[in-house]
């Protein structure tokens, strides 16, 4: 009997066995890889869910500390200037409506936030001399649809305006506060500038709780759809905020 066919047959059998083992190993690895992929996706979903809950808790915590602080400042302003109490209380009523009703909503319209901020400025004006240089400008296109849509987090403007009245140099003859609201090309903008005292310059670095809480809210809510700059130049403190509401709305719609 010729040994060659036997050898060839044995070699073929070995090759088939090796192929079968490799195929089985590939199937097992594919199954394990699929399980690992599914576990990874599940972990990512759980992480996103936990991150969302954490951010919501952060926002609720920030809001719970923000509203009483704002209300206390307003009452102090009204109390310190009794001769303007009637006018201040009229504006205070509008502010209280915003705090009690609109602030409970996740979003307000830019129009509502601007109107609230203007009332807040009027209340703070009672701290100032009639000769003090206070400039308030509105560069708003009210015909843009997003100006009337609920896309803006409430109280975005509060800390910037309150800080201007708190830290402005009210005694210097060339002192001023400037507040500019903008809404163009579906972008909300707020610029606040004030002259600071030479004796009490604003410290460099991070600000107080108000500014830190505002930055936290902006990052949590708007992520990469906002710009927030603040700096001091020639004893003038300037804060500039811009929020791309069109980009943010598109992101919201895409995420469902």
Instruction: Of 8-12, 33-37, 147-151, give the range with the top mean pLDDT.
Output: 147-151
Query: Who wins on pLDDT, 180 or 213?
Result: 180
The answer on pLDDT for 46 being more than 70 is no
Question: For domain 55-255, which architecture applies?
Answer: 2-Layer Sandwich (3.30)
**50 contacts 208 by C-beta, under 8 angstroms:** no
Of 49-53, 117-121, 189-193, 239-243, the range with the lowest mean pLDDT is 49-53
- Per domain, the residue ranges of the chain are 55-255
**pLDDT at position 6, please?**
47
The answer to whether the CB of 168 falls within 8 A of the CB of 126 is no
Lowest mean pLDDT among 45-49, 57-61, 173-177: 57-61
The CA-based dihedral angle spanning residues 227, 231, 236, 241, taken in that order and rounded to the nearest 10 degrees: 10
Sheet bearing 133-140, strands edge to edge: 133-140, 176-184, 187-195, 236-244, 226-233
pLDDT band at 238 (very low <50, low <70, confident <90, very high): very high
In the chain, the percentage of residues whose pLDDT exceeds 70 is 62
pLDDT band at 7 (very low <50, low <70, confident <90, very high): very low
When the pLDDT of each residue in the chain is averaged and rounded to a whole number, the result is 78
Q: What is the pLDDT of residues 87-146, one digit of tens each?
A: 666 677 777 777 777 667 889 999 999 999 999 998 888 878 888 999 999 999 999 999
**Cβ atoms of 250 and 151 closer than 8 Å:** no
CA 146 – CA 82 distance, rounded (Å): 39
């Amino acid at each position: 009997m010729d040994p060659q066919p036997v050898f060839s047959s044995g070699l073929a059998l070995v090759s088939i066995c090796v192929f079968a083992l490799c195929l089985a190993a590939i199937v097992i690895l594919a199954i394990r890889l699929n399980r690992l992929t599914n576990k990874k996706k599940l972990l990512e979903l759980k992480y996103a869910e936990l991150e969302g809950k954490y951010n919501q808790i952060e926002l609720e915590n920030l809001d719970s500390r923000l509203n009483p602080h704002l209300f206390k400042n307003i009452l102090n302003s009204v109390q310190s200037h009794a001769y303007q109490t009637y006018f201040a209380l009229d504006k205070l009523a509008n502010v209280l409506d915003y705090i009690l009703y609109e602030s409970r909503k996740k979003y307000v319209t830019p129009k509502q936030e601007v109107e609230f901020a203007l009332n807040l400025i009027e209340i703070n004006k009672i701290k100032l001399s009639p000769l003090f240089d206070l400039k308030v400008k509105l560069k708003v296109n009210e015909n843009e649809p997003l100006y009337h849509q609920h896309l803006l987090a409430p109280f975005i403007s509060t800390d910037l305006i309150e800080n201007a009245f708190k830290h402005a140099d009210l005694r210097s003859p060339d002192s001023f506060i400037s507040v500019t609201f903008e809404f163009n090309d579906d972008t909300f903008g707020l610029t606040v500038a004030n002259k600071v005292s030479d004796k009490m310059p604003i410290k460099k670095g991070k600000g107080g709780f108000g500014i830190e809480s505002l930055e936290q809210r902006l990052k949590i809510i708007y992520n990469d759809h906002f710009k927030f700059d603040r700096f001091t130049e020639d004893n003038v403190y300037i804060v500039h905020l811009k929020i791309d509401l069109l980009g943010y709305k598109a992101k919201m719609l895409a995420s469902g």
